[in-house]
Amino acid sequence: MSETAFYAKRILPPLVALQLGMIGLGLLITKVLNDTWPFTVEDGVNRYFAAHRTGPLNAVTWFFSFVGSTPVIIGVTAVAAFVLLRTLHSWREPIFLCAAVTAQAIVFFFTTLVIDRQRPQVHHLDNSPPTSSFPSGHTSAAFALYAGLALILAGLVRHTWAKWLCWLLVLVPVAVALSRLYRGMHHPSDVTASFINGALCITIMAAAILGRKRLSSTARTESSSPRPEYSGRRRRPA
């Protein structure tokens, strides 16, 4: 089996399933469960944030909203992929990171074409993009990037405290999600769905790309290990 066929078989079916699942989740939230708790109290969360806005919080949430914007995500992904390539001398980690970010963007885009959800009925602190409120592109992109980067870095260090330090990067998409809620740009279920999108895109790409590296490393180790020599002489019974 060629490399292209291998990756297509490992990536396309689960990615299509994720795409259909996200669309199904969006339809379920907006068409079926929209009058059911907890979706009936979502606007209350946005109104709470809107009622407690302050100058410093406006500045902080603007920054993290900017961190999750498309130009910044593309720029940070490109820089991180370049640094990984130069330091690890391997294409798999950079390709994994770029693939995870790209996959979530594809799922996000096609989901917004089907799901037409209005943004929260509060004053918006950012200009509303032409896409639907469901899901949050800022949140899913930030999660795919920073959680994917944390996964790579945590696999490179040995000490437990260092691994936990790497996983602190996950706090970045959490801050992006809270900022999008605070600024009135998304419902809570929008950002929750985005965490699911980002996490599953990381899982799919890690299994296909990073998992392939582990299998190759294991095969090389087994092939290079010395095998016991066979002697054609039979031992005579005593």
pLDDT tens, 125-153?
Answer: 998 777 789 999 999 999 999 999 999 99
Domain limits, the chain: 62-115+133-212
Query: Are the C-beta atoms of 64 and 137 separated by less than 8 Å?
Result: no
pLDDT at 105 exceeding the cut of 80: yes
Which band of pLDDT confidence, cut at 50, 70 and 90, is reported for residue 215? Answer: very low
Range 146-166 burial, b when 16+ CB lie within 10 A, else e: bbbbbbbbbeeeeeeeeeeeb
Q: What average pLDDT does range 145-172 have in this prediction?
A: 96
Q: What angle, 0 to 180 degrees and rounded to 10, lies between the N-to-C axes of helices 137-154 and 160-167?
A: 170
**How many percent of the chain have pLDDT more than 90?**
78
**Quick one: pLDDT at residue 166?**
96
Q: What average pLDDT does range 170-174 have in this prediction?
A: 98
**Quick one: pLDDT at residue 232?**
47
**Quick one: pLDDT at residue 29?**
95
**Quick one: pLDDT at residue 127?**
86
In whole angstroms, what is the distance from residue 105 CA to residue 99 CA?
10
The overall average pLDDT reported for the chain is 89
* Per-residue pLDDT reduced to its tens digit, 22-79: 999 999 999 999 889 988 899 999 999 999 999 999 999 999 999 999 999 999 999 9
In whole angstroms, what is the distance from residue 123 CA to residue 102 CA?
31
**How many percent of the chain have pLDDT more than 70?**
88
**Quick one: pLDDT at residue 100?**
97
Largest CA distance in the chain: 95
pLDDT at 227 exceeding the cut of 80: no
Mean pLDDT check: name the lowest of 27-41, 98-112, 207-221.
207-221
Side chain identity at residue 136, one-letter code: S
**Quick one: pLDDT at residue 233?**
52
**Quick one: pLDDT at residue 218?**
45
Going 47 to 49 to 50 to 52, the CA torsion angle's sign is positive
Query: Are the C-beta atoms of 222 and 170 separated by less than 8 Å?
Result: no
